[in-house]
Structure 1
Amino acid sequence: MITYVDRFGGQTLPQLQELITGPLKGAVGGVHLLPFFYKIDGADAGFDPIDHTRVDDRLGEWKDIANLSEQMGVMADVIVNHMSSESPQFLDYSQKGSASEYDGLFLTMESVFPNGATEKDLLAVYRPRPGMPFTVTTLANGERRLLWTTFTPQQIDIDVHTPAGKAYLDSILQKLSQSGVTMVRLDAVGYAIKKAGANCFMMPETFDFIKAFAQRGRELGLEVLVEIHSYYKRQMEIAQQVDWVYDFALPPLVLHALEFGRSGPLLDWIAQRPNNAVTVLDTHDGIGIIDIGADATDRANHPGLVPPHELDELVERMHRNSNNQSRRATGAAASNLDLYQVNCTFFDALGRNASAYLVARAIQFFVPGIPQVYYVGLLAGENDMDLLAKTKVGRDINRHYYSREEVLSDLNKPVVKRLLELMRLRNSHPAFGGAFSSAAMAANQLTLSWQQGAAYARLEVDLSTKSGRIIHGLAGDEAVVFELR
């Protein structure tokens, strides 16, 4: 399960733990805690930490993380690319300039372009929002600097090559390791390395950095998950160098299969995808489109997993399925960092079709990897238009604040009860520790199977009716049929 601590049935870590080990027992075997560092309500919902080594006091303290880790695996974020402009490090640098012990920690335009930058250099830089990745900043000591800010002006990029940058990131890894965290996700790592004359995103030097950082994590007993939205072949390359990658191609491909009634593109991806993947349908961000599209740098020679016109139509169908709510939260319609994602709950992207939703989750759970369920998706959540209207941040459409009463009530919804049964089956059935296979008897069908000894589990899907069933059994037992409806 992936969740914010304060948006799923309470405000504190102990309250969250009570829900996961209580009503969700057996369904959730591990938890990814979205940024719980001080403070959680900055410019980007905790992804702009003021103090990356401190738990926000409103949520709890490090001993609460340690207590949770005794019950299950715990994942936390390492925000690799940047930190808050309100951080003690930046405030010290702002006061003292080059005399600060943190001089060199923050990336300036001059650091990357010591001889100046041409128009071509600047236009080559890739970033997830329009405009240049710099902010003109007057420091408290009166100095004016052109700071590198890939995301927002409040998120100051770190120079990861300097001793100060290396020490800062290592201190985070050490604190997480000491507190019982077992896996870390490298957030925004694709932007961490900058180089004059390059696009500054997922370059060979970035791969080298990821490899070295992952090795340091392993030395501290931490597995490393890399979060990258990009051309699908880049994910395959990254998977060879780290413990885990996200399968961000899966969500739009599952939607494509259900909307177009064809299993071909999904099966093609299953045949080549890396298996050391965390599988998702929804996250705290939007539903990625770039992950199955053509390579933006060479569309002719590097096509996507689905034709361009079908990708465009898929986006339109998501908008229509959500009664155009997602259109109001996506792209230039709202304050979005990521213009290549559709902001919508996955349940709404499927038109709130319970059968289709359970089929989508079953496909996710049968594809090799570690299945991860977002807290809103766990409750088959619907678009939060009130929160969107309040914040005018597109991604908030899928970041609802659930009270404890809401959680307990939604756990009784028929679609949620079936989803929890499905999750418990995935967590407990021995077949999922065996061999995997996939097939399709017809274009509108999909069969995914697992077998270990006499234990087996087989998912059969009819994409034209958006329905399916799971047939499973153990040695000597009669087959059990789990209808997805």
Structure 2
Amino acid sequence: MTQSPLQECSREIIGKKLLDHLAVIYPNEDGDRLAQQLMHVMRLDEDCQSPLPHKNLWDETDVVVITYGNTILSEKQHPLKALHHFLKTHFTMLINSVHILPFFPYSSDDGFAVVDYKQVHPKLGDWSDVLRISTDFHLMADLVINHCSAQHEWFINFQQGKSPGADYFFVVDPNENLSGVVRPRTTPLLRAVSNGSSSKCVWCTFGHDQIDLDFRNPQVLLEMVDIIRLYLDMGVRIFRLDAVAFLWKKIGTSCINLEETHEIVRLLRTLIEHADPNTVIITETNIPNRENLSYFGNANEAHWIYNFSLPPLLVNSLVSGNCRHLKNWLMSMPPAQNGTTYFNFIASHDGIGLRPVEGLLSDDEQEALIQTMENFGGQISWRALDDGNKKPYEINISLFDALRGTTAGEDEWQIDRFICAHAIMLALEGVPAFYLHSLVGTTNDYQRMLEHGHNRAINRRQWQESELNQKLKDPTTHHFKVFGQLRHLIKLRREQPAFHPNATQFTLHLGDQIFAFWRQSMNRRQSIFCLNNISDAPQTIPLSSLNLIGTDCWKDLVSDRIYEDMLGTVTLEPYQTLWITNRW
């Protein structure tokens, strides 16, 4: 990431900004006192910096890898050390940022039920390991802000009526009408617990081991800001606000995307960027596309937002052989303002979300996609509806297996289809992020899924470093082939100004079997026409349809082929990608 120039800042300026936020969130609290507390916790009363607005802290060289802290194992060292060694061995000068999923002590949900926010899980390593990784890579970490573990000290204190924690959790009368609450799970929303001498019901958006915090209490906000300050000190430079859309609750509403939630994101943005102007906030909001876009705010909320609609739409295009919906979605996406951009991913530790394609794919199309994924070994996770029924929430499958074939069944194009998917992700507007398992072509892990008892474990394999290194060296393995081709594409991407995350992008219309778009560098000197055959049959198009400037020399970066006859044609083999440019 690039560095931000600074402008003059003062305690008065930051104090005024905080008061504006606090007036929305806590209109009945002493705003001056709370603002001073927040500044003290974040140490802004000692050192305050201010970035220029609408400054891009990223460029075409930024590529992220997503991984658990224990994805890479070694008999010789702790997992975080093994991960660091693996990253330095294979990804130096290739990937410059790493998202290590929750590396704290936890009780469930593979880290997202945090028992202690301020410690590294002892089975992974310690803070010195985290700091070492942050010296070689931009470090993204999760702020699991909506809830904590039922085993956290705060919740234990809540049950005993002690502080801190006695008033940290969202308590609700079970007789309230909660039918309008949006749920991402099928488990009961409320959990009855003893609280001192009485019994109360606490709110559990994701499950009964993950108890929702009550941000109506300003002390909860102060606790989270204290945690943010620690993470900054430990080298974190990209903050992922986990499940932040559910943060604020109001009885009688959907309890998702409320105005107070957005204002808290704005407040955290103000605090973080004045503590370190080179820090990025990303919101994790697995919700319908229009709602997701709202977390950009007016370039004053998230710097990055997840492009949650991309994975299901792209997989659907590649297995159906038709990119109509993908094109329509791309045309509907507004260009991100400078100072913000999209976070593009097509695989992650979670599944392929279906909520982001609500209104984009019909029920029949979603059902066809689900059936195809089940045919390739995938599992389905569900969420509860208002009427008590349930609806598919996400598809759990490794991306490599998801692209085994098409709706017609498995075929010989699995690797080509898989590489095509990543070539599209790499070329789109935004910062690309690779799930580590995708980079090495990991397949469905049925044994881990059975052992852990939940569907998401199917795509959370743990590799022995020595075994994986051997597979990556063996030319006969698909792991070697996948990693080699992806390395080639990543290197190419990092050298192209037209692939800057905020460079111009236009959708091209070359039929439903070719997903195509045009990128232009911010100085307008480089153009790249990105052509992707998303079908299992060759596709031929006239070069004249691209309107290539005849006085320029054009070359496909992927194959090194030169195009001289502007009146000729080009044929794309099944799942072939072309990056045709006038500058190389």
CA distance in 2, matches of 1:422, 1:134: 48
What whole-Å deviation, never above 9, does each CA across 1:446-476 have from its counterpart, x for those lacking one?
223334465454332222227899xxxxx98
Alignment of 1:61-210 (within 5 A): 61-95=126-160, 97=161, 99-110=162-173, 117-118=175-176, 121-139=177-195, 141-210=196-265
Aligned equivalent of 2:427: 366
Aligned equivalent of 1:347: 400
Report the AA paired with residue 315 of structure 2: L
With over 3 angstroms needed to count, the CA separation of the structure-2 counterparts of 1:81 and 1:468, relative to structure 1, is farther
With over 3 angstroms needed to count, the CA separation of the structure-2 counterparts of 1:130 and 1:435, relative to structure 1, is closer
Moved more, 273-282 or 457-466: 457-466
Decide whether the 8 Å contact of 2:505 with 2:520 is kept in 1.
yes
Report the AA paired with residue 103 of structure 1: A
With over 3 angstroms needed to count, the CA separation of the structure-2 counterparts of 1:266 and 1:338, relative to structure 1, is same
Shift of 1:205: 3.0
TM-score (norm. length: structure 2): 0.72
Report the AA paired with residue 165 of structure 1: V
1:8 aligns with one of 59, 72, 93: 72
What whole-Å deviation, never above 9, does each CA across 1:327-382 have from its counterpart, x for those lacking one?
3x5449xxxx9941000111111116110111110111111111011111111111
Decide whether the 8 Å contact of 2:307 with 2:342 is kept in 1.
yes
Secondary structure at 2:90 match in 1:
coil
Alignment of 1:434-449 (within 5 A): 434-449=503-518
Secondary structure at 2:131 match in 1:
helix
Secondary structure at 1:127 match in 2:
coil
CA distance in 1, matches of 2:159, 2:201: 13
Decide whether the 8 Å contact of 1:467 with 1:484 is kept in 2.
no
Alignment of 1:5-404 (within 5 A): 5-10=69-74, 11-39=78-106, 42-95=107-160, 97=161, 99-110=162-173, 117-118=175-176, 121-139=177-195, 141-221=196-276, 222-240=279-297, 241-274=301-334, 275=336, 276-293=341-358, 304-320=359-375, 322=376, 325-327=377-379, 330-331=381-382, 339-351=392-404, 353-404=414-465
1:462 aligns with one of 533, 545, 564: 533
Report the AA paired with residue 414 of structure 1: K
With over 3 angstroms needed to count, the CA separation of the structure-2 counterparts of 1:355 and 1:450, relative to structure 1, is same
Report the AA paired with residue 135 of structure 1: R
Shift of 1:260: 2.5
Decide whether the 8 Å contact of 2:439 with 2:482 is kept in 1.
no
What whole-Å deviation, never above 9, does each CA across 1:403-441 have from its counterpart, x for those lacking one?
102321343421221112212222233332354333132
CA distance in 2, matches of 1:71, 1:468: 43
CA distance in 1, matches of 2:430, 2:453: 35
Aligned equivalent of 1:428: 495
CA distance in 1, matches of 2:347, 2:537: 19
Stretches of structure 1 lacking an aligned partner (at least 5 in a row)? 111-115, 294-303, 470-474
Decide whether the 8 Å contact of 1:106 with 1:157 is kept in 2.
yes
Moved more, 46-55 or 441-450: 441-450
CA distance in 2, matches of 1:443, 1:341: 26
Report the AA paired with residue 2 of structure 1: I
Decide whether the 8 Å contact of 1:350 with 1:356 is kept in 2.
yes
CA distance in 2, matches of 1:404, 1:422: 24
Report the AA paired with residue 394 of structure 2: Q
Report the AA paired with residue 326 of structure 1: G
What whole-Å deviation, never above 9, does each CA across 1:192-240 have from its counterpart, x for those lacking one?
1110111111223322232223333323323210111111111122223
Decide whether the 8 Å contact of 2:189 with 2:204 is kept in 1.
yes
Decide whether the 8 Å contact of 1:252 with 1:292 is kept in 2.
yes
With over 3 angstroms needed to count, the CA separation of the structure-2 counterparts of 1:468 and 1:74, relative to structure 1, is farther
RMSD after superposition: 2.6
What whole-Å deviation, never above 9, does each CA across 1:262-320 have from its counterpart, x for those lacking one?
22221222223254111010111110111011xxxxxxxxxx12333212212222222
Report the AA paired with residue 245 of structure 1: I
CA distance in 1, matches of 2:342, 2:555: 32
Query: Percent of pairs identical after alignment?
Result: 25
CA distance in 2, matches of 1:183, 1:158: 22
With over 3 angstroms needed to count, the CA separation of the structure-2 counterparts of 1:101 and 1:331, relative to structure 1, is closer
Decide whether the 8 Å contact of 1:247 with 1:278 is kept in 2.
yes
TM-score (norm. length: structure 1): 0.86
Does structure 1 residue 415 correspond to structure 2 residue 482?
yes
CA distance in 2, matches of 1:263, 1:14: 42
CA distance in 2, matches of 1:212, 1:357: 40
When Rg is computed on C-alpha atoms for both structures, the one with the higher figure is 2
CA distance in 2, matches of 1:466, 1:438: 22
Shift of 1:142: 4.7
Stretches of structure 2 lacking an aligned partner (at least 5 in a row)? 1-64, 384-389, 406-413, 474-479, 541-551, 560-575, 579-584
CA distance in 1, matches of 2:288, 2:403: 24
What whole-Å deviation, never above 9, does each CA across 1:126-179 have from its counterpart, x for those lacking one?
22122431111135x453221112222221111112132112111111111111
Report the AA paired with residue 429 of structure 2: P
Decide whether the 8 Å contact of 1:129 with 1:339 is kept in 2.
no
Report the AA paired with residue 92 of structure 2: K
Secondary structure at 1:306 match in 2:
coil
With over 3 angstroms needed to count, the CA separation of the structure-2 counterparts of 1:436 and 1:411, relative to structure 1, is farther
CA distance in 2, matches of 1:317, 1:479: 33
